[in-house]
Amino acid sequence: MVLPPGDKATRWAALQKLVMENPVCRAHVRPGKKVVLGVGNLDAKIFFCGEAPGAEEEIQGEPFVGPAGQLLTRMIQAMGLKREEVYIGNIMNWRPEIPTEHGGAQVGNRPPTPEEMKYCLPYLREQLAIVQPAVIVALGATAAGGLLGADTFKTLGEIRGRWNQFAGIPVMVTYHPSYILRNQSNRSKRAIWEDLLKVMERTGLPISEKQRGFFL
């Protein structure tokens, strides 16, 4: 994949055109739905990476806009940032399909296969090359497996909260926001918050005593 020379906005626009017109991506999108590319600040220090679009995302054509995305936005705000100040993307550019009867609406989601993620990974690499973030936050086991290799860990707990690396960029693996939606305990919230505190420290964001004490 070769993008035309130019500034970040020019290269990102060229990448968006490539993704939106990709015949494989388009073939996997149901009628009336959208291919999804990442969004956000092209100069962001923090790049949040999920696995794949869901129902709301393939309608709006933007990652993390459903309930999990709304929680992610609140998490970003707790870090002292706005959603527009970070970059948010997925490894996958389409919602992994589940067979439906008589062409009906898809109910539920499934994790993308390694083959699907392998196909889309070059587009993620190009987004990273354009944004050049200081860190990547991998949201959930599937995203972590897509970036680091699913054979490098058995459970998310083995690598969560530790620094890894992808494409020369530090990676912090943490829980997907949907995990917090299913587990509303302070313990679960504190676990993901501790990971985000490490990201804040790594990127030089100010941390107040109040922030350090969240969910204790």
Q: What is the DSSP letter of 179?
A: H
* Among candidate residues 87, 97, 96, 185, the one with its CA nearest the CA of residue 139: 87
Please name the amino acid found at residue 174.
Answer: T
- The predicted structure's pLDDT at residue 93: 97
Q: Which are the contacts of 26, defined by CB distance < 8 A and separation ≥ 6?
A: 20, 35
How far is the C-alpha of 143 from the C-alpha of 98, rounded, in Å?
19
Query: Which band of pLDDT confidence, cut at 50, 70 and 90, is reported for residue 108?
Result: confident
Exposed (0-12), middle (13-18) or buried (19+): which is 109, by Cβ within 10 Å? middle
pTM of the full structure = 0.96
Neighbouring residues of 41: CB distance < 8 A, sequence distance ≥ 6 = 84, 85, 86, 87, 131
Query: Tens of pLDDT along 76-97?
Result: 999 999 999 999 999 999 999 9
Write the pLDDT tens digit of every residue in 35-50: 999 999 999 999 999 9
Residues 6+ positions from 108 with CB-CB distance below 8 Å: 98
Could you tell me the domains of the chain?
A: 8-96+108-212 (3.40.470.10)
Q: Are strands 87-90 and 46-50 parallel, antiparallel or unpaired?
A: parallel
pLDDT > 80? residue 100: yes
- The residue behind tokens 């459970």 is 155
DSSP-derived secondary structure letter, 79: T
Range with the poorest average pLDDT among 92-101, 194-203, 206-215: 92-101
- Lookup: tokens for 210: 């109040």
Structure tokens of 126? 């190009």
The token pair at 8 is: 């970040």
